[in-house]
Structure 1
């Protein structure tokens, strides 16, 4: 009797931890064929990752209303600030450490979206773009961010986290909220009205 009880307990333990792990895996076979096994370290991006489920405690029906444009709160209960500094997509100077670069910025869903690849270059971070699955991995030091076009989920250091807006595929690049990529790598975002510049400051 005791052996049966122990075996049942062990089985429940294995099932619980087996199903609760939040790891990623390769998105499709073409992805692995093109980039080689282990490029995304055997992680999988399921369609379930695109939206937040009620059972996880997130109410995420309107992702564009869950954060300020310049601050990634990671908290879906924060009221939105819809006052963007501009409403039309345009080239905007993004300043970091007194250096600035012109980036194309797209106002969308209450957020300012920027090219993840170009922001990675500005932040001197490494990145890998997987064109079959439109997944972008950005890393610098111990910090890593993984996003997929069309998804409002990000993996920040392999922890699934809600983004205030879906990532967006545009001109062969994955665009995501400037606050998400900046905050991940330790920068605060602000807007300088006088110079019409997005300013990144180290946190």
Structure 2
């Protein structure tokens, strides 16, 4: 079943969001807001540095047996080229970032967005987070590929449902890592895009095994 109640989800750590598209909007299940997670990576956007693929580690609240993953995109000029999903069997991740840093990631504290990304503080933050992330044993569980930028407006769903072989791997984890790959600046230039956005993150979970409910 597709997870709809996401009140237990939270951000453990992540790269920066833009102030007009906080990361939390990518899974708050409130599509009426019309927003989603924006991140700035494309070279030259507002003179921002290329800080690499935007990523977020999401605490699902409890260990979850994944049956599929997916995203909802928005208009063409903010489509990611692809999105990779990972889980870890590590039971607990904590103290990677401070509460203040988390509030900056979620755009609930200053500085955030471009102001933070262009600062030396953010460079140090990102180095710290990437070092901690490299110590975690991530298991790649799926990749959603958009394929090509198209002059299309409106939200579009891209989802992977695991087959029996994948389900048999029992890909269970409390933490989900989501990493977006941008279209190149040249690819974006065709339709005028310079950023990427995920309007919603989907997790499909195993709810029953041989008719017996799975916790």
When normalised by structure 2's length, the TM-score is 0.19
TM-score, with structure 1 as normaliser: 0.20
